[in-house]
Structure 1
Amino acid sequence: MKRRNFIRNSSRAGIAVSLLGVYACKEAKKENAKEQTGEGLDTQSNMEDASPFFELSLAQWSIHKMIKNDGVDPYTFAEKAKKWGFTGLEYVSQLYNPELSDAGYSEEAMAAFVEKSNAEAKKHGLKNVLIMIDGQGNLAVDDAQERKEAIEKHHKWVDAAAAMGCHSIRVNLAGTNDPVKWKNNSVASLKELGAYAKGKNINIIVENHGGLSSNGAMLADVMATANMDNCGTLPDFGNFCIKRKKGSYECEEQYDFYKGVEELMPYAKGVSAKSHDFDASGDETEIDYVKMLQIVKEAGYTGFVGVEYEGSELGEEAGILATKDLLLKAAKELS
């Protein structure tokens, strides 16, 4: 090839390569712009993959039948929760009886409970969230000495929660049905127990758990009066029965679910997603989860939402998974 033709052909090739480079650069810029604006992306897929505004924990009460009736070891709680897709653990004190109660909740027994629970949580990469305390005395009882003893019994659980890295213990406010006495006794107990727990960096939280505590307005008033930053609520979607019919589980006096949760959310340090039965679409038959989660979201809550299945139509594992699936489905439907 003559040198002149070689130069001409080389020039043409150089121009072609240069043009290809410019084109490629422009296309790369277009794709980058699309990525930044979301243009051309599968919006539906993104919505489906979006994480909810809360984290998922499992309330151990959801497996109380396995433990109490079937002899399942309560220390397999973390293993089960991990398998079912949860990241947080909500323990229930009574499910470790008679191990703890037979030992009189001794220092040694409590230390063993903490050590074993921590080991299992660490092994499965889960977070200890809270401990639900039952059977440790009535915090709203009239008798001052009885109330003092109940508060002291809760101290061991505050210590355990602190050693486990939990943020709270859940307590019950039972003891009287007189509204005025109930409020005064509840506030006094929360202030005293809250003061002890503050030094351990633990919250004292109250669930709407029957009796006057299931009156959302009254429990919110207790929190406002106690006025302690480490005392709060654990709104439960379904525990709003104030009074049951004598000799029956049927509710006689029912507080409005949605009103109650809305009243308790300003003080919430946890949320409990109660469930019993499901329809063919996978929705809870009595509780509108979309409406409930909207209330929770609008309150600015972004912590753990605990699954607490209490039904009998499904087995405990199936009920737990159905509740978890419903929470995730409902979260996608929020405005």
Structure 2
Amino acid sequence: MQRRAVIRYAVGAILPGLAGINLTACQQGLEESTAMNINHPETSATADFPLSLAQWSLHRALWAGDLDHLDFAATARRLDIGAVEYVNQFFADKAEDAAYLEQMNGRAVDHDIRQLLIMVDGEGNLAGDDTKERQLAISNHHKWVHAAARLGCHSIRVNAAGKGDAEDVAKRAVDSLTQLASYAAQENINILVENHGGHSSSGAWLAGVMAAVNLPNCGTLPDFGNFTMAMFPPRKYDRYLGVEELMPWAMGVSAKTYDFDSQGEETTIDIARMLGIVKASGFKGHIGIEYEGSRLSEEAGIRATRDLLLRNLTEVQKPAH
């Protein structure tokens, strides 16, 4: 992880956002059958940026029972992806179940899959205004630190959620993240914060929190799509600026996609521009596929995302002349 020499701490900065996310089907969009069969470049083209699969990409199949959590590793391998990012919601009662976690390890070994991180939700607000509830939220994350260590993951992803003005929420987030990261360091686990709504969807705000925590195992997981700060009234942050501001602390990248045109290009986010920002930051590491669309099936959307990333990463990694 490389950090810029100077990052301005601009808590609560709000910049004009881009157009809203469009989840509707485009008349000329990429067809399901095409998305399933695009020939993609060799994965060796992503030597600096190997791909991983975020489990949320398959949340509909998982919630419906069409896919078992233990079969996620096999699904990733079938989709030619060699690493996975778990979501705790899909094994919420198994964090302390050693036998179950060993089953997960076994499935990963069987399919030559690297287990990278656990995205943790539903364990309380780390920047909440009630001190007792916030301390409970911190302790609730401890079991996921231990689970991540048992699975050989490098990180858990958390949320810096809380109500109040930007400065107060930032102070509480800094305190909680400092405590949690210090605890996780005992297990060699990183604590990653994603831009995930509210104040955290301001790149400047979250960069300021990271600068204040200033611990080597506390970083960010920039998501290309999560820059909606509020729904009513709508407030959006410039997604490209936000990713640029978060990359100095990035220990992973979440390449969010929603839909694709007939050429296989993402219709909401300029993926080539995003990958250029990622490369310019000096980051090297996994880029996670997180398809969140509704028009294509989940597997077709994952394939379309994978192929779009591989095409663009081939260009990004060409030597400069």
Query: Scaled by the length of structure 1, what TM-score is found?
Result: 0.80
Partner residue in 2 for 1:143? 130
Equivalent position amino acid for 2:243 in 1: V
1:319 equivalent in structure 2? 301
1:55-107 per-position Cα deviation (integer Å, ceiling 9, x unaligned): 1100000001001024421110000000001111100000124xx1xxxx673
Determine which of 282, 286, 289 is the counterpart of 1:304. Answer: 286
Q: How many residue pairs get matched?
A: 276
- TM superposition score normalised by structure 2: 0.83
Counterpart CA distance in 1 for 2:203 and 2:100 is 33
| SS at structure 2 position matched to 1:51 | helix
Q: Is the 8 A contact 1:177 1:212 kept in 2?
A: no
Displacement of 1:115: 1.3
Alpha-carbon distance in structure 2 between the residues aligned to 1:50 and 1:309 = 22
Query: Residues 326 and 148 from structure 1, CA distance in 2 versus in 1: closer, same or farther, beyond 3 angstroms?
Result: same
Aligned to 1:5: none
1:198-242 residue CA offsets vs partner (Å, 9 max, x unmatched): 111000000001111000000000000000000000000111000
Task: Write the deviation string for residues 107-135 of structure 1: whole angstroms up to 9, x where unpaired.
Answer: 3xx32331121111011111110000010
Matched, 1:51 2:38: no
Q: Which residue of 1 aligns with 2:178?
A: 191
Does 2:50 correspond to 1:68? no
CA distance 1:297–1:106, shift in 2 (3 Å) = closer
Contact 1:48/1:332 (CA < 8 Å) preserved in 2? no
- Aligned residue for 2:118, secondary structure, equals strand
Q: Percent identity between the aligned chains?
A: 53
Higher helix share: 1
Which is worse superposed, 177-186 or 75-84? 177-186
Q: Which amino acid aligns with 2:265?
A: D
Write the letter of the residue equivalent to 2:278.
V
Distance 1:313 1:160 in 2: 34
Counterpart secondary structure, 2:259: coil
Question: Which residue of 254, 265, 274 corresponds with 1:272?
Answer: 254
Counterpart CA distance in 2 for 1:223 and 1:163 is: 26
1:78 equivalent in alignment to 2:60: no
Per the TM alignment, residue 49 of structure 1 is displaced from its structure 2 partner at its CA by: 8.0
Residue number among 177, 195, 207 corresponding to 1:208 in the alignment: 195
Residues 73 and 212 from structure 1, CA distance in 2 versus in 1: closer, same or farther, beyond 3 angstroms?
same
Which structure has more RCO (C-alpha within 8 Å, separation ≥ 6)?
2
Q: Which residue matches 1:329?
A: 311
CA distance in 2, matches of 1:177, 1:64: 31
2:82 maps to what in 1?
87
Counterpart residue identity of residue 51, structure 1: A
Corresponding position: 1:241 with 2:228:
yes
Give me the whole-angstrom Cα distance separating, in 2, the residues matched to 1:323 and 1:175: 32
1:130 and 1:169 in contact (8 A); partners too = yes
Distance 1:79 1:209 in 2: 28
Alpha-carbon offset, residue 48 of structure 1? 7.4
Q: Aligned pair in 2 of structure 1 residues 314, 49: CA closer, same or farther (>3 Å)? A: closer
- Whether 1:171 and 2:158 are equivalent positions in the alignment is yes
What's the CA shift for 1:332? 2.3
Q: Which runs of 5+ in 1 are unaligned?
A: 1-46, 247-251
Look at both structures and tell me which one has the larger radius of gyration over its CA atoms.
1
Cα distance in 2 between the residues matched to 1:321 and 1:231: 31
The one-letter code matched in structure 2 to 1:310 is E
Q: Structure 2: which 5+ runs fail to align?
A: 1-40
Query: Counterparts of 1:67 and 1:232 in 2: how far apart (Å)?
Result: 28
SS at match of 1:58: strand
